[in-house]
Amino acid sequence: MSEDDRPLRPKRGRTPGRADELAPRVTRRSLPIALLRAREAVMARFRPMLAEHDVTEQQWRAIRILGEAGPLDAAELSERCCILAQSMTRIARGLQQRGLVTRTRDAGDGRRLLLELTPLARALLREVTPKSRRIYRELEARYGARRLELLLEMLDELAATRPR
């Protein structure tokens, strides 16, 4: 067993006993809570930039994904954005009302509606991307490019184990 594969041990040299096994993890060492704290620490850097452009986090995710992937139906966009389908419907409607996305029928399947960025949304992407990259450079300067890349690899690996 490699060092990376050994089970986690409690801090302060305690040996886990039966009572420890039945008790929930201390929240300071809870993976879901640690991931939420980390997300908040990262998003606190991005929120002012998004607010400056009157875009919510969820709207920005949808814009970025559509900018990267091209036209998608709402179900696929919802999946890629990690946003519930019902919420994506509301988000897409808001983006459409702001002139940032259009809905068109899929040429291959007329029942399918595709969401696509408008030129206005593409201009927004071009304007915001340099600011976003600056934030990433600040994170790299603080933590190191290799450590951030390792973190992203580990998170991708963890996400790939998600039960379906």
* Nearest-10 crossing angle of helices 57-69, 74-81: 110
pLDDT at 85: 92
* Per-residue pLDDT band at 6 (split at 50, 70, 90): low
**Residue 69 CA from chain centroid, whole number:** 15
**Which domains are present in the chain?**
30-157 (1.10.10.10)
Residue 49 and residue 132 in contact, taking contact as beta carbons nearer than 8 Å: yes
pLDDT in tens, 58-84: 999 999 999 999 999 999 999 999 999
pTM: 0.80
Residues 6+ apart with CB under 8 A from 132: 46, 49
Q: What's 90's DSSP letter?
A: H
Which ranges of 2-118 would DSSP assign to H, the alpha helix? 18-22, 31-52, 57-69, 74-81, 85-97
pLDDT in tens, 108-163: 877 788 999 999 999 999 999 999 999 999 999 999 999 999 999 999 999 999 88
pLDDT at 21: 72
CA–CA dist 78, 89 (Å, integer): 9
